[in-house]
Amino acid sequence: MKTIKLIILSTGFAFAALSVHAQAFQNLNFEQADPISAGVPGEPFDVTAASALPFWTAYLGNVQQTEVLQNVYSLGQASVDIFGPNYPSAGPSPGIDPGIIDGNYSVFIQAGSDPQNSTVLVSASIEQTGLVPVGSESLEFKAWQNTFTEFSVSFDGNNLSPVMLGTGANYTLYGVDIAPFAGQTGPLEFTATVPQTGLSLFGLDDITFVLTPEPSIVALAAIGGLLFGARKWFARH
């Protein structure tokens, strides 16, 4: 009876782990966007940040933004933008043609002059607080950038060090070591930082947590069977 309970508990823990993963960070590919006009007279490209970036918060410098741009970007002014659903695909990265990296939507983050004070340069970022899935080894993401792009990735205030893993037709694949923070809850932030020269243009899509393989339900049942067999063997000796 105890062995059967052990199998049931093990199976329950496995499903609980899957449930926790499902409740971790959300909208990591930005496909949940449903942009709604911010209703600003003379600003047809302004949409609400909540509708364009569900579960994410947009910042220019340290100032939270209630509006972002849709299907347009500036040349010099800091902004957070959503490209899609009807916008061209990005060109090669690094390059000069930002756009959708994958799917129907991609985020575009641009450091530059402060919209409230053109003499001040500010970073642009998006942030979401969530749970890093237990067993996470790394965090990977697709990025589009120009020659001058400078960006950072952080979790709970800890700067991570992106490493280039490969390239695609219109993106560079990066990865960071997230293992030290597996099972922890905190803010994950992607930032286009103010560059030394030029424009810092940073497209982002398909953020993915890479996990260590978990024991399958079949494997857990097999372990339970072995324990049951061992119990019977010890009972005879």
Residue 166 in this model has a pLDDT that exceeds 80: yes
What percentage of the chain carries pLDDT values higher than 70? 80
Work out the average pLDDT over 214-236. 50
Cβ atoms within 10 Å, residue 50: 16
* Confidence label for 174 from pLDDT (cuts 50, 70 and 90): very high
The whole-chain average pLDDT of the chain stands at 86
Helix (H, G, I), strand (E, B) or coil at 117: strand
**Of 68, 65, 63, 78, nearest to 45 (Cα)?**
68
DSSP 181: G
Each domain of the chain, given as residue ranges in start order, spans 2-211
Residue 93: pLDDT over 90 = yes
Instruction: Please tell me whether the overall predicted TM-score, pTM, comes out greater than 0.75 for this model.
Output: yes
- Predicted confidence at residue 124, as pLDDT, reads 97
Q: Which of 139, 141, 140, 136 is nearest to 214 (CA)?
A: 136
For residues 153-157, average pLDDT: 97
Using CA atoms, how far residue 11 sits from 83, 131, 140, 226, in Å, is 42, 22, 29, 15
- Enumerate the H helices of 23-99 as residue ranges: 49-52
Q: Which CATH architecture has domain 2-211?
A: Sandwich (2.60)
Q: Examine the pLDDT at 207 and tell me if it is beyond 60.
A: yes
- Cα torsion angle, 14, 19, 20, 24, sign: positive
Q: How confident is the model at residue 237 (pLDDT cuts 50, 70, 90)?
A: low
